[in-house]
């Protein structure tokens, strides 16, 4: 392991690797990535692969438009097939308030160039054959949203970054970050120390622990989120289906499996990745209620990862007031993967002072002290 670097990225998930990938492509390679496990160890290897542009704030809509464009090109750029398929996202609204909210966000999305449209329950049944629309008021459908296979995205970006000169260290745990006054001087790991003045905290659910090493308090909290996958069946489901009433979402992979999860309002913040029978019961009931034909399929396995949640549902980006050179790229909830290509590119440009993206000041840590928060409503699927 190198003993000195211009920049150290803590976290070898999709956010950290996207940053390393884009920095390397811009010619900046004096970078070390530290990952405590294997690539895809954390949330990046445990998510459902959804990629959507249906959001309620213009910042997130624009961000995701860029991410979709970049995901479409990433297979060619890296040589790894992401299996990215744009079958759309279908959101179901079951109450008047949610339906009104969908109408408002669709107008915003359309102004941004996203072709989302309102569809009736009858029309939704034609998009997803066999869909049970009892109790559904209205639906929103954007045909350019999609799903992908997460693992090759990480492998591809890591390979390109490494080939260009970035050092990626797996199974390397950060034990401390030393500073003198406001200045970072080194990152200490269980395999040695790296002298550096700049650190990016892209550790996801572990970001709070990393920040505390420098006396910085983040408001993020980790929440277990479970997912299941059903046995393969003949492909029939094009879009990701998401029920806004309970946080249900599921899609079909290109290999035929149905994969998805559901929100649990009773889940307490923890670092628990164990599977629960309660999730299996709730998820099975919710899926079959929306698409009854799934009742005959067997569950292949379940697993859990973490949502790295912030109080306003938006990430924490950019500088902190207490320490110079300590950059935050965390707090993405369950949506870091889909945002990663655009965030990584924007962060690389911002760090290298090639562009001054306002997102790094709008979503900085100090916004909570300033009271300048804007709640994102689409925080599922």
Q: Are 23 and 7 in contact (CB under 8 A)?
A: yes
Give the domain range for residue 168.
7-46+151-220+312-370
pLDDT for 180 equals 97
Cα atoms found within 13 Å of the Cα of residue 19, Cβ hemisphere only = 34
Domain termination residue (choose one: 306, 337, 359): 306
CATH number at residue 106: 3.30.9.10
Same domain, 138 and 159: no
pLDDT for 374 equals: 79
Query: Is there a single domain that holds both residue 140 and residue 236?
Result: yes
**pLDDT at position 378, please?**
64
Do 190 and 302 sit in the same domain of this protein?
no
Task: List the one residue out of 58, 85, 57 whose CA is nearest residue 71.
Answer: 85
Decide if 118 is inside a domain. Answer: yes
pLDDT (tens place) for every residue of the chain, 381 residues total: 999 999 999 999 999 999 999 999 999 999 999 999 999 999 999 999 999 999 998 989 999 999 999 999 999 999 999 999 999 999 999 999 999 999 999 999 999 999 999 999 999 999 999 999 999 999 999 999 999 999 999 999 999 999 999 999 999 999 999 999 999 999 999 999 999 999 999 999 999 999 999 999 999 999 999 999 999 999 999 999 999 999 999 999 989 999 999 999 999 999 999 999 999 999 999 999 999 999 999 999 999 999 999 999 899 999 999 999 999 999 999 999 999 999 999 999 999 999 999 999 999 999 999 998 877 766 565
Question: What is the per-residue pLDDT for 373?
Answer: 85
What secondary structure, in 3-state letters, does 39-78 show?
Answer: CCCCHHHCCCCEECCCCCCHHHHHHHHHHHHHHHHHHHHH
Q: Of 276, 306, 336, which marks where a domain is finished?
A: 306
**Claim to verify: residue 272 and residue 316 sit in the same structural domain:** no
CB count, 10 Å around CB of 310? 22
Strand order in the sheet with 7-10: 167-169, 31-34, 7-10, 199-201, 326-330, 316-318
Return the pLDDT at 177. 98
Do the domain assignments include residue 72?
A: no
Instruction: Tell me, yes or no, whether 265 and 277 share the same domain.
Output: yes
Residue 376: inside a domain, yes or no?
A: no
Residue 358 sits in the same domain as residue 345: yes
Write out the E strands in the chain.
7-10, 31-34, 50-51, 89-93, 117-119, 138-142, 146-147, 167-169, 174-180, 183-189, 192-195, 199-201, 221-230, 240-243, 248-252, 258-261, 299-309, 316-318, 326-330
Number of domains in the chain: 2
361/241 Cα distance (integer angstroms): 34
Domain end position, chosen among 306, 322, 347:
306
Is residue 65 within 8 Å of residue 142, measured between CB atoms?
no
Residues 214 and 247 in one domain: no
Q: Are residues 299 and 316 in the same domain?
A: no
Cα torsion 11, 16, 20, 22 to 10°: value is 180
């Amino acid at each position: 392991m190198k003993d000195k670097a211009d920049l150290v990225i803590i976290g070898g998930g999709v956010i950290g690797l996207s940053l390393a990938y884009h920095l390397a492509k811009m010619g900046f390679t004096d970078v070390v990535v530290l990952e405590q496990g294997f690539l895809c160890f954390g949330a990046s290897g445990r998510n459902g692969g959804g990629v959507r542009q249906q959001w309620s704030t213009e910042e997130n809509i624009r961000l995701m438009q860029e991410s979709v464009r970049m995901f479409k090109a990433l297979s060619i750029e890296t040589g790894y097939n992401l299996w990215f398929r744009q079958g759309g996202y279908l959101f179901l609204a079951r109450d008047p308030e949610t339906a009104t909210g969908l109408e408002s966000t669709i107008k915003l999305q359309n102004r941004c160039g996203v072709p989302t449209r309102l569809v009736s329950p009858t029309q939704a049944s034609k998009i997803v054959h066999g869909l049970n629309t009892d109790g559904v008021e209205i639906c929103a459908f954007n045909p350019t949203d999609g799903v992908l296979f997460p693992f090759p995205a990480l492998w591809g970006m890591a390979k390109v970054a490494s080939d260009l000169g970035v050092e990626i260290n797996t199974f390397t745990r950060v034990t401390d970050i030393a500073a003198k006054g406001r200045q970072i001087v080194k990152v200490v790991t269980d395999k040695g120390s790296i002298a550096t003045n700049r650190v990016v905290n892209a550790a996801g659910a572990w970001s709070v622990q990393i920040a505390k090493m420098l006396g910085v308090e983040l408001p993020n909290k980790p929440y277990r989120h479970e997912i299941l996958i059903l046995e393969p069946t003949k492909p029939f489901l094009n879009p990701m289906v998401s029920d806004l009433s309970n946080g249900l979402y599921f899609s079909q992979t290109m290999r035929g499996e149905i994969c998805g999860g559901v929100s649990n309002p009773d889940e307490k913040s923890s670092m628990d990745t164990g599977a629960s029978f309660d999730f299996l019961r709730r998820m099975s009931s919710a899926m079959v209620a929306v698409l009854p034909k799934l009742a005959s399929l067997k569950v292949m396995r379940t697993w859990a990862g973490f949502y790295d949640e912030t109080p306003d549902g938006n990430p924490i980006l950019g500088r902190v007031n207490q320490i110079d050179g300590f950059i935050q790229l965390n707090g993405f909830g369950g949506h870091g993967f889909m945002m990663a290509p655009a965030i990584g590119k924007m962060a690389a440009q911002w760090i290298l002072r090639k562009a001054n993206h306002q997102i790094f000041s709008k979503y900085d840590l100090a916004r909570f002290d300033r009271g300048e928060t804007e709640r994102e409503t689409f925080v599922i699927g």
